[in-house]
């Protein structure tokens, strides 16, 4: 039944309603077209199948393309040039495999060991160009606080605020650290604060192992020159680097460890949670509070 065979408006309305429910929204032809009939293949009109080319012999199939797997040939000689007198190009020696930044690590060790004071160490670090982080940072973040204090705290790396001011822990994490120190009766005049990495990594990314190894001699020498009675490792990276361990900070924290300097001095070390972590996980502040109470008791016992 088509619209042409319908006579009454009611019949037309019923047909249009059917079209609408079927999703028909546009009339393309006056007469219906059987699309299924058009889609049926007609054997008589099919083009003859192309004749497959004869298979190549195995030798032809495996023949290499020109220039592949072949020794380079001498270029064609220019007129008047005796090719027999042209020497072969010397073979290029292979570069020896080296550990990246190994030379800079050795240089950092030499510079750190040669510093007899904190001022000399700082000057060496300002002049040192062996760490790529220096070229993206604005300032060297050396330390803050009292170098004669009994307590030294070491974090991982400076952030944006620290990079701008050239001092460690001055942003939100620093304000929380100040409150943590105040809770045990200390402040920045009675503590010394530094980082394993003295230059801010771009975008606050995690320092690479090579960047950490390059900077390790400087922070180890810094600890040795300060010679605190107690060392606090703020966060997992600081604890892993300075305590030579692979354990996670939640397993390390609250347990006394020992940091041994190059001269053989053993310094009691308390790994604890980083203030930035505590800002993200306030429920764990109670754990850091217990750790700082341990630090307070240790300082009293060593006074």
Q: Which are the contacts of 164, defined by CB distance < 8 A and separation ≥ 6? A: 138, 139
Specify the pLDDT at position 187. Answer: 97
Q: What percent of the chain has pLDDT above 70?
A: 70
DSSP E strands in 123-189: the ranges are 144-145, 151-155
Flag residues of the chain having pLDDT under 70. 1-7, 19-101
Specify the pLDDT at position 87. Answer: 46
Question: 192 in helix, strand or coil?
Answer: strand
Quick check: pTM over 0.85? Answer: no
Query: What are the domain boundaries of the chain?
Result: 102-302
Torsion angles phi and psi, residue 269, rounded to 5: -125, 135
pLDDT tens track for 211-269: 999 999 999 999 999 999 999 999 999 999 999 999 999 999 999 999 999 999 999 99
- From the options 3.40.50.300, 3.20.20.70, 3.40.470.10, 3.90.400.10, give the CATH code of 102-302: 3.40.470.10
Residue 281 CA to residue 187 CA, distance in Å, equals: 23
Where is 269: in which H helix or E strand?
strand 266-272
Computed over its alpha carbons, how large is the radius of gyration of the chain?
38
> Any idea of the CA torsion for 294, 297, 298, 302, to the nearest 10 degrees?
180
Specify the pLDDT at position 183. Answer: 96
Given a contact cutoff of 8 angstroms between Cβ atoms, the answer to whether 214 and 108 are in contact is: yes
């Amino acid at each position: 039944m088509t619209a042409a065979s319908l006579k009454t408006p009611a019949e037309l309305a019923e047909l249009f309603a059917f079209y609408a429910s079927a999703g028909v929204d546009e009339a393309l032809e006056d007469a219906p077209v059987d699309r299924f009939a058009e889609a049926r293949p007609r054997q008589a009109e099919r083009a003859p199948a192309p004749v497959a080319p004869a298979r190549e012999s195995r030798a032809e199939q495996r023949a290499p393309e020109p220039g592949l797997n072949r020794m380079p040939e001498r270029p064609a000689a220019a007129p008047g040039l005796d090719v027999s007198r042209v020497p072969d190009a010397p073979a290029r020696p292979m570069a020896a495999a080296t550990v990246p930044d190994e030379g800079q690590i050795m240089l950092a060790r030499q510079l750190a060991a040669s510093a007899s004071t904190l001022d000399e160490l700082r000057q060496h670090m300002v002049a040192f160009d062996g760490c790529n982080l220096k070229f993206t940072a604005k300032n060297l973040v050396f330390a803050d606080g009292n170098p004669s204090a009994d307590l030294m705290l070491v974090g991982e790396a400076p952030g944006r605020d620290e990079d701008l001011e050239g001092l460690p822990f001055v942003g939100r994490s620093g304000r929380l650290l100040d409150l943590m120190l105040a809770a045990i009766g200390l402040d920045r005049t009675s503590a010394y604060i530094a980082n394993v990495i003295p230059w801010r990594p771009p975008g606050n990314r995690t320092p690479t192992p090579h960047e950490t190894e390059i900077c390790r001699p400087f922070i180890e020498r810094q600890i040795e020159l300060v010679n605190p009675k107690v060392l606090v490792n703020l966060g997992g990276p600081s604890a892993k680097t300075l305590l030579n361990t692979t354990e996670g900070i939640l397993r390390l924290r609250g347990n006394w460890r020992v940091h041994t300097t190059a001269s053989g001095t053993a310094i009691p070390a308390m790994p604890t949670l980083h203030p930035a972590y505590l800002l993200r996980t306030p429920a764990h502040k109670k754990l850091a509070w217990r750790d700082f109470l341990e630090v307070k008791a240790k300082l009293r016992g060593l006074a």
